[in-house]
Structure 1
Amino acid sequence: MTLGKRALLLIFPVVLAGYLLAALSVHFAEKRSIRALEQAKLSQRLEHVAAVFQNEIQRSKGFLTALLNSNVLRQFVSETDERYRFAAHGVRLQESIKSLSDDPIAFISFSVLNSRMEVEYYFENSWDPFAEIDRPQRELARRLIAGKRLSDLTYLEPTGERPRIVYSVFVDPVTFGRPMPSNKSGALLMQVAVLPDRFLAMQAALKKEYGADIVLQPWPLAVTDTLSASVPLGTQLYATIVVPEAHFEAQMLQQKILLGLGALAMSLLSIWLIVLLIRRFITGPIARLDANVTAVMTREHDEITGTGAVGEIGRLTQNIRELHRQSLESLRLVEQNSWTDTLTGITNRGRFNAAAAGIVDNVLSCGDKCSLLFIDIDNFKFVNDKYGHDVGDDLLKRLAARITECVELISKRRGQQPALIARLSGDEFAVLVRSQTGDGTLREMSSAILALFDGGFEVSGTRYPVTASIGVAICPDDAVTVAELISNADAAMYQAKTGGRNRSARFSRALKDRRTRQSQIQEELRALDPNEQFHLVYMPIVNAYGQVVGCEALLRWQSPVLGNVTPDEFVPIAERSGLFAKIDWWVIDKAMSDCHQLKALFGPETVLAINISSAELHSHAINDHFSECAERHGLEPQSIDIELTETFAVKVSDHLRENIEQLRRKGFRLSIDDFGAGYTSVQQIIDYAADTIKLDRVLVSNLTASHALPVLKAVVALCHAKDMAVVGEGVDTPEKLAMLTAAGCDRFQGYLISKPLALEDLAIWALSRTVRHQEERRSPGSLPRTAGMASAENLRA
């Protein structure tokens, strides 16, 4: 099937379906609109009919009122001489009736009857000079005389006779007014009957148009979904018309046919235009291109000739021509690149895994050994970020070349098989060597690689501050698969980093045990219930006067399986494995639930410090959790101090900064913990959006040991200039306390004051401080402390 036919078969049903769907939508929309329009039209026409009918009623009422107010009728009724009354007054009354009629040929009748049903006068405007009151009107008069009503309006619609509107009134022959009900028997019944010609004509027109007649009935039409209308004509008289549903469906059928034919016609026209355009601009050039490519494949031609097309088809022709020319070269490059690292030119991870698997299988089958050196470049990210990616790439390329050179040189000199050298990722390299343990090969290769970084690594005459950490694992002593070999060598490499970097470490049983314990800790963290195994201890924070102004919540874990697990051990594992979220949330909720007891011990201004993982601040959920917990426990946000490690500022992002600012806008305090333990710079101190800076215990110890009071004063002064309070951590000797006090430190925390205590023990500690203060006040000769000068005894008290 050609492309044109396939396009026709695919496009035509879609276009036809689209037009039909549009026609169907129009039909349903128009159906409701047409029904509503027909309903409004029917109601309007029926109201017009009712207006005409009401006009006829008013005409009959006005006619009778005019006769009652005329002297002619009075004289006719009061005349006692019957012959004279008919001869003289009857003729005058007839003339009056004719003069009151708007249309001289329109039917109108006037009759006067007494209570005995005797017709005292009757006249109708017709061609019959001997006309008499007919039987239906006599029956109406008899009912009225027998009834109690003094006036009546009736529409007489007798079978086979003319329908009339009859207006009847009882008149007192003496006063010519309405008679008293008790005197009705002596009153005259006067009736005016008119023929509603216009009403009848409109009724016939409606019946012809809608196929339904107007029904007059004493009640209105009930509300239905059919096309119908009902209007009042008079007292207890309603005109109703109900149109058969077939009338409306006939209109809709005609619309359906027109819409269907229109959709089909538009579909055929659209398809014709689309096919014409596709053939002209798409399928035609593609067919010519297909013929050219086929000719090249069958070797009828050497090159693909141009199709004369422009745009995408023309560019496609040129691209296919170029692809044909470069196909062999491309295949060669693909094979080369699939096994080679594009940056360094050495073996990549995929090729290394495949080749290493073959080497491992071989040494296992022949009882030989092989060793893996896992090399990681220390501080490479620092160089890459500071000097640029071009320098980083150049460094990696030079390093790969030098590692390859020294490894090949050692292998060749020792007469060993060539080593497998690969770049596994980023700044990680691997060297797989087939050698026996104890022959010195691994030691020599490790030393040679580490020697490349003596005094930094040189690239183009510049030395960069990078070193290497090497982990070594041996097959089959340490692993029997490539995955295990890489994993164990990676663990040994991290052991080398921990040991000080720029060194090598061999995978050992102790390291394996440590990895096993780390896995156990991770599994226990994943399955534990924090309420059962976690608990909090609190470490007081005091000001220069020894007053407790805050407490830092510290997490402790007593595992039934692992025993006591320190935070330094499980916190990094929880952060790496993404399990720290539930720990942070539990700590926040639990610490806030204890906050009221802390305030009861140390005063309502006591601030609760809570440590959280910086990674959690990348989510808006932690903000909502802080607010929800504070509200649930009835705490002001100002009572909560959120502590973050200072290293978060090294990699702060706009999103993280916004989350921190949201917490501060809600009223929460922010502290930078462990200040001086990472890569803090003066610029980062200036940029910190924090309320408090906590000097790390290592920084405090170093500055105290070197007696660098001016440096410490400068750091504190810089923090004070940024409106930040300064807390000295690790205050465990009076010398540290004295130096921090002299430097202007605001608050202090450490074992000299108190170790972390459970809430119950903290209450005992607070009570003992209170007792000690009271004893000091009662002791004779006690001297007051100078403001701002704290002592170890004062802080411990």
Structure 2
Amino acid sequence: MTLGKRAFTLIFPVVLTGYVLAASLLYVSQSASIMALERARLWQQLGLLGAVFQNDVTQNKSLIYSMIEGSAIRLFINEANAGYRSNAIGVRIQESITSLSDDPTRFVSMAIIRPPGTIDYYYENSEDPFAEISAAQREHARKIIDSPQLSDWSYIEPEKGDPLIVHSEFLDPLTLNRPVSSAKAASILLQTGVRPRPFLDMKKALEREYATALEISTYPLTARGALSATVKLGPALHARLTPPTGHLDQKLFKLKLLLGLGAIGLSLLTIGIVLALVRRYITNPIVRLDRQLTDVMSGARTEIATSGETGEIGRLSANMKQLHDEAVESFGLVQAASWTDTLTTISNREHFNVRSTQILDAARDSNASCTLLFIDVDNFKFVNDKHGHKVGDELLKTLASRILAIVTAVADRRALPEVLVARLSGDEFAIMVQSQPGDGTIDEITTKILDLFSDGFEMVDKSFPVTASIGIAVFPEDAASLPELLASADAAMYQAKAQGKNGSARYSRSLHEKRTRRRRIEEELRTVNPDEEMHLVFMPIVDGHGKVTACEALLRWNSPLLGQVTPDEFIPIAETTGLFSKIDTWVIDRAMSNCGQIKQLFGPETVLCINISSAELYTKTIADRLCDGLERYGIDAGSIEIELTETFAVKLGDQSQRNIETLRAKGFRISIDDFGAGYTSVQQIIDYPAETIKLDRELVESLTNGVALATLRALIALCHAQDMQVVAEGVDTTEKMTLLAAAGCDLYQGYLISQPRTIEDLGIWAMQRLMVQATEAAGKTAARAASGA
């Protein structure tokens, strides 16, 4: 037997005997007091029950008077349309009841009744959506209608369900005031019912405690016996509770039991104190080990010291230390794995968020600054698709190691605190630098990273055509929290992309304004009515003889709130937010509705070019919508040319490829727009499923000079070899048109020919061209006649 057990066996009987004796003396001396206290408690309980009941009555009265004072009841009574009244206005009544109820789960009902008993409206906040007024409430309503009373409250106990406190009030339908007795038949009876849950819960508790039913009567009740109490619930409602004869004996037995258990409990507490003293002075080694374990678990210390004890205590201490050391090592491995990006072995997003938050908190406390660099690899998807995911993964790993080496070297040389480098997702990296703005650290890191991409990214003796766009945001100047700092750096990164890629941009007020405008554009797109704010303009396309062969439909948006919004602004936003479908549907319908008029102006062979959102071709309904437009406006599919951007054609997916093949099978023409604006290869030209190539205006600008004429001629010849017509965009000078014609270009579009025009202005422009052509023809005829004479 252990020392603890010996002490327990010795002390427990003595202590227990003493406490039992004390409890017995206490019971004998206090039995009379217990009787008096129980009687007082019973009366107090019934008094509290009456107060709870009165509170439920008051709440019910407040509910009905608040409903009378509100507008929902008045609108309901005055509304002639029964369907609208029961649905729309009924919902307002339900909302009013819900807002007035302090407990949304409490049962509340309301009925609007017209004498002699027609139920105009009934609502209860139960789970039954088809609930109807109970028979007890109907019967009570009939009694009130038949009586001379204009207002009444009652406690109703239906055959099924819980009792209700029902308040009835007659209202004049015009004034919503209490009517005179003579006008009662033309009045409206408003009846509210509240389930007195606190009263019922307390009533059930009392009945359960005293093992008897609570008597409720409309007549006065008197107490019966020593343990009987009454309470007045209302002017005509009384309650009485009379416990059974043996109730007090049961209470006394419970008291005996409680005193006995208390004696045992106090005995155990006393023994516990004694044993604690024994443990303190006898078993100190175990206590010290326990304290060390507690400190380790709470984080107050990191290791367990070895004990100088021998025997069981020494072995226990050594084993606990070994288990702890192994657990710490395992935890470190698991934490390192969970905070490390598996591909690049640098920090992942989770670790970045945790450490960045700690760094920002420390910077906030010390009034210091931090700078976030948000890096995105441009054209990485192209490398991934062309060379495979294995090469793409190797590129990311190499880039991560080089960025980490650059940042570590700069931080060590400048004696900076820890610099956090992480891969957030895909080809996005983040660097958190703890340095002061203007000390040159950020410029040095940015320059060294961009230098990695100056001549393509070199890896395994090969150069890959990727660049980097770096967004820079400073805490706390540009943001007050990590999410805001990430958003600001992300916006700056997109600004760097817009500036030509392989560059950096610092977050600024202008970027904030751009983000704000983007958000406002998105909000307006969600509610815009294209018929009211959008319109189409048309830009002619001519051949080498000046004949109009096609017209391109261009979308314009004039927002009352935002002013003129260019397609370059709102089309990308519409695509990324999923709002493009509504706009494209409107553009297709409006453009096709003008196709007949365009053919009347320029001839039946004129082609209408319609730009389709890149995201639209990923849907399965685009072909159906275009075919519906053909049928609606009686147009041949060969008269419609669908324009796709060159950057979209580079990444044609399975669904978009199937959509294009379906459109071509139905007779639609396909055109690749803005060719040369993105990353173009000869193989892509060969693979393009299109009838027309439209050279981007910047490509035309760079190739329309004498030096590049051979390149331009070769490019056009390659397109011709693929049976594609070539359209030059941005033709704004006679010199450009001459060089393009010399290179073999088929069609021309630009301000030299015409600016974008509305359909009405396009008709005027066409008439003016006819007049000019007629004048020139007449002049030539006159000149030939004069020379012949």
Please, what TM-score do these two structures have when normalized by structure 2? 0.55
Q: Distance in 1 between matches of 2:329 and 2:364?
A: 39
Q: State the 1:407 CA deviation.
A: 2.1
- What's 2:365 paired with? 365
- What's 1:443 paired with? 443
Q: Say whether 1:376 aligns with 2:362.
A: no
> For the Cα contact (< 8 Å) 1:539–1:756, is it kept in 2?
yes
Distance 1:777 1:519, change over 3 A: same
Q: Distance in 2 between matches of 1:520 and 1:670?
A: 34
Q: Distance in 2 between matches of 1:769 and 1:461?
A: 60
SS at match of 1:376: strand
Q: State the 1:330 CA deviation.
A: 7.1
Q: Gaps spanning 5+ residues in structure 1: where?
A: 1-325, 785-797
Distance 1:759 1:345, change over 3 A: same
- Give the partner amino acid of 1:654: D
Q: Deviations over 1:397-428 (max 9, x none)?
A: 33323322332333233333212221111222
Q: Say whether 1:413 aligns with 2:413.
A: yes
Distance 1:776 1:620, change over 3 A: same
SS at match of 2:621: helix
- What's 1:620 paired with? 620
- What's 1:601 paired with? 601
Q: Distance in 2 between matches of 1:435 and 1:367?
A: 12
- Give the partner amino acid of 1:372: L
> For the Cα contact (< 8 Å) 1:492–1:511, is it kept in 2?
yes
SS at match of 2:617: helix
- What's 1:481 paired with? 481
Q: Distance in 2 between matches of 1:459 and 1:428?
A: 19
- What's 1:539 paired with? 539
> For the Cα contact (< 8 Å) 2:614–2:644, is it kept in 1?
yes
Q: State the 1:664 CA deviation.
A: 1.6
Distance 1:672 1:388, change over 3 A: closer
Q: Say whether 1:356 aligns with 2:342.
A: no
Counterparts of 1:730-749 in structure 2, within 5 Å, are 730-749=730-749
- What's 1:630 paired with? 630
Please tell me the root mean square deviation across aligned C-alpha atoms, in Å. 2.4
SS at match of 1:702: helix
> For the Cα contact (< 8 Å) 1:412–1:418, is it kept in 2?
no
- Give the partner amino acid of 2:397: K
Q: Distance in 1 between matches of 2:643 and 2:375?
A: 36
- Give the partner amino acid of 1:752: L
Q: Distance in 2 between matches of 1:459 and 1:744?
A: 41
Q: Distance in 2 between matches of 1:457 and 1:548?
A: 46
- Give the partner amino acid of 2:543: N
Q: State the 1:631 CA deviation.
A: 0.5
Q: Distance in 2 between matches of 1:515 and 1:615?
A: 22
Greater displacement, 630-639 / 436-445: 436-445
SS at match of 2:594: helix
Q: State the 1:555 CA deviation.
A: 0.6
Q: Say whether 1:701 aligns with 2:708.
A: no
Q: Distance in 2 between matches of 1:434 and 1:708?
A: 50
Distance 1:375 1:589, change over 3 A: same
Counterparts of 1:88-167 in structure 2, within 5 Å, are none
SS at match of 1:373: strand
- What's 1:720 paired with? 720
> For the Cα contact (< 8 Å) 1:453–1:467, is it kept in 2?
yes
Q: Distance in 2 between matches of 1:408 and 1:752?
A: 56
- What's 2:561 paired with? 561
SS at match of 1:424: strand
- What's 2:426 paired with? 426
Percent sequence identity over matched residues? 59
Flag the structure with larger Rg. Answer: 1
Q: Distance in 2 between matches of 1:687 and 1:414?
A: 52
Please, what TM-score do these two structures have when normalized by structure 1? 0.55
- What's 1:585 paired with? 585
Counterparts of 1:10-159 in structure 2, within 5 Å, are none
- What's 2:679 paired with? 679
> For the Cα contact (< 8 Å) 2:705–2:739, is it kept in 1?
no
SS at match of 1:537: strand
Greater displacement, 767-776 / 532-541: 767-776
Q: Distance in 1 between matches of 2:744 and 2:782?
A: 26
> For the Cα contact (< 8 Å) 1:473–1:489, is it kept in 2?
yes
Q: Distance in 1 between matches of 2:538 and 2:718?
A: 29
Q: Distance in 2 between matches of 1:460 and 1:635?
A: 56
Counterparts of 1:268-417 in structure 2, within 5 Å, are 333-417=333-417
SS at match of 1:608: strand
Q: Distance in 1 between matches of 2:615 and 2:679?
A: 18
Q: State the 1:457 CA deviation.
A: 3.9
Distance 1:709 1:431, change over 3 A: closer
SS at match of 2:672: strand
Q: State the 1:782 CA deviation.
A: 6.2
Q: State the 1:658 CA deviation.
A: 2.0
- Give the partner amino acid of 1:730: G
- What's 1:468 paired with? 468
> For the Cα contact (< 8 Å) 1:533–1:557, is it kept in 2?
yes
Q: Distance in 1 between matches of 2:763 and 2:682?
A: 40
SS at match of 2:424: strand
Q: Distance in 1 between matches of 2:598 and 2:655?
A: 34
> For the Cα contact (< 8 Å) 1:674–1:694, is it kept in 2?
yes
Q: State the 1:333 CA deviation.
A: 4.1
Q: Deviations over 1:493-517 (max 9, x none)?
A: 2222222333322111111111111
Q: Gaps spanning 5+ residues in structure 2: where?
A: 1-325, 785-789
> For the Cα contact (< 8 Å) 2:620–2:655, is it kept in 1?
no
Q: Say whether 1:770 aligns with 2:756.
A: no
Q: Deviations over 1:588-609 (max 9, x none)?
A: 0001111121122222222111
- What's 2:280 paired with? none
Q: Distance in 1 between matches of 2:464 and 2:634?
A: 55
Q: Distance in 2 between matches of 1:641 and 1:682?
A: 23
Distance 1:406 1:683, change over 3 A: closer
Greater displacement, 643-652 / 448-457: 448-457
Q: State the 1:610 CA deviation.
A: 0.6
Q: Deviations over 1:635-659 (max 9, x none)?
A: 1212211111122321123332221
- What's 2:519 paired with? 519
SS at match of 2:642: strand
Distance 1:327 1:666, change over 3 A: farther
Q: State the 1:461 CA deviation.
A: 4.8
Q: Distance in 1 between matches of 2:589 and 2:707?
A: 42
